[in-house]
């Protein structure tokens, strides 16, 4: 999704040199859309309808460089709905989920042997399968989980009240915060069997946006692109993981909050 930064720009340019642009601030509380009661004001500081723009929320100046940075990172790991099946080709996906050439057991001509194939573990049961035999599990469910997926993605980028606690969110965050982000700083997520559960978390705070998160969401809403954001977050690497067919179909991912 290349449109998050575009969303911000499109809304900014609604402010002319003679007239500021005002729109309401929205947020997510427990992954539900809520108005905050504050107004976002865009003021065009230049003589023409081009930057610089000043943005204030309820009279307090917003940190726009930080907002642009978050928008860029979110866009870089989102996929269009038609593309998410290709996410296994993504280099970050391959690193996170231990995709590698492995010698797997096959029968050939009546004899047991091995074949070297591109493979990865199912993140739920740990069984190693060829990539072609793995399915893609949406961690926040496609049915009704769209805003939970938005909150989950925003959390990875520091846009919720409480930050990520799971191994994947922490890995992605450490990677993005490193001085010189490169894949060398990336680790892999261990499959669930034998992995300790994340402790000391507040479900509500993890699915409630902070001020920067509310600002970004409000720009997306003002640009009329909320559906694109939902789709992009649902199909973001943050929300996708490889799973075997049995785990993916039998388990189902329940909603964190009732609709
Ligand atoms: Zn499995």
Give residue 242 CA to ligand 1 midpoint distance, Å.
9
Residue 204 Cα to ligand 1 middle (Å) = 29
192 alpha carbon to ligand 1 midpoint, in Å? 10
- Measured in Å, residue 167 CA sits from the centre of ligand 1 at 18
Question: 257 lies in a domain?
Answer: no
Using the 3D structure, point to which of 82, 114, 133 is the last residue of a domain: 133
Does residue 169 sit in the same domain as residue 215? yes
**10 Å Cβ neighbour count for 62?**
18
For the residues of 202-241, what is the DSSP string, one character each? -HHHHTSB-HHHHHHHHHHHHTT-HHHHHHHHHTSGGGEE
Q: Are residues 23 and 117 in the same domain?
A: no
Last residue of a domain, one of 82, 115, 133: 133
- The answer on 146 and 40 residing in a single domain is yes
The CA 133 to ligand 1 mean position distance, Å, reads 11
What's the CA-to-centroid distance between 253 and ligand 1, angstroms?
14
How would you write the pLDDT of the chain (259 residues) with one tens digit per residue?
A: 457 899 999 999 999 888 999 999 999 999 999 999 999 999 988 776 667 889 999 999 999 998 988 888 888 766 555 555 566 667 778 888 999 999 999 998 999 999 999 999 999 999 999 998 999 899 998 888 999 999 999 998 889 998 888 878 888 777 766 666 555 556 777 887 777 666 667 889 999 999 999 999 999 999 999 998 998 899 888 898 899 999 998 767 778 877 6
| CA 172 to centroid of ligand 1, rounded, Å | 23
Residue 30 C-alpha to ligand 1 middle, in angstroms? 29
Classify residue 256: in a domain, yes or no.
Answer: no
Structural domain count of the chain: 2
The reported pTM is 0.86
Instruction: Quote the CA–CA distance of 34 and 22 in Å, as a whole number.
Output: 18
Q: Both 111 and 210 in a single domain?
A: no
Tell me how far the alpha carbon of residue 134 lies from the centroid of ligand 1, in angstroms: 9
Both 42 and 78 in a single domain? yes
User: Does 67 share its domain with 119?
Assistant: no
In angstroms, rounded to a whole number, what is the distance separating the alpha carbons of residues 162 and 52?
Answer: 32
User: CB neighbours of 82 closer than 8 A, spacing ≥ 6?
Assistant: none
Question: Residue 118: which domain range?
Answer: 100-133
Do 192 and 104 have their domain in common?
no
| Residues 123 and 36 occupy one common structural domain | no
CA distance linking residue 193 with residue 98, whole number of Å: 15
Same domain, yes or no, for 13 and 111? no
From CA 19, how far away is CA 44, in angstroms rounded?
Answer: 8
């Amino acid at each position: 999704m290349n449109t998050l930064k575009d969303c911000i720009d499109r809304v900014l340019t609604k402010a002319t040199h003679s007239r500021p642009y005002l729109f309401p601030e929205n947020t997510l509380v427990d992954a539900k859309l809520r108005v905050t009661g504050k107004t976002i004001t865009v003021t065009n500081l230049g003589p023409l309808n081009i930057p610089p723009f000043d943005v204030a929320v309820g009279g307090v100046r917003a940190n726009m460089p930080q907002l642009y940075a978050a928008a860029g990172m979110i866009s870089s790991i989102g996929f269009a709905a038609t593309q998410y099946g290709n996410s296994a080709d993504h280099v970050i996906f391959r690193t996170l989920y231990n995709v590698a050439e492995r010698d797997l057991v096959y029968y050939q001509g009546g004899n047991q042997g091995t074949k070297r194939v591109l493979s990865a573990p199912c993140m739920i049961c740990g069984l190693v399968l060829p990539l072609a035999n793995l399915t893609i599990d949406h961690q926040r469910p496609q049915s009704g989980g769209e805003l939970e997926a938005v909150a989950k993605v925003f959390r990875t980028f520091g846009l919720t009240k409480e930050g990520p606690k799971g191994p994947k969110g922490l890995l992605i965050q450490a990677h993005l915060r490193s001085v010189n982000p490169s894949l060398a700083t990336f680790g892999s997520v261990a499959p669930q069997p034998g992995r300790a559960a994340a402790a000391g978390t507040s479900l509500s705070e993890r699915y409630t946006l902070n001020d920067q998160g509310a600002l970004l969401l409000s720009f997306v809403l003002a640009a009329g692109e909320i559906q694109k954001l939902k789709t992009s977050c649902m199909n973001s690497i943050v929300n996708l993981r490889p799973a075997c067919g049995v785990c993916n179909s039998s388990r189902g991912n329940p909603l964190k909050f009732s609709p």
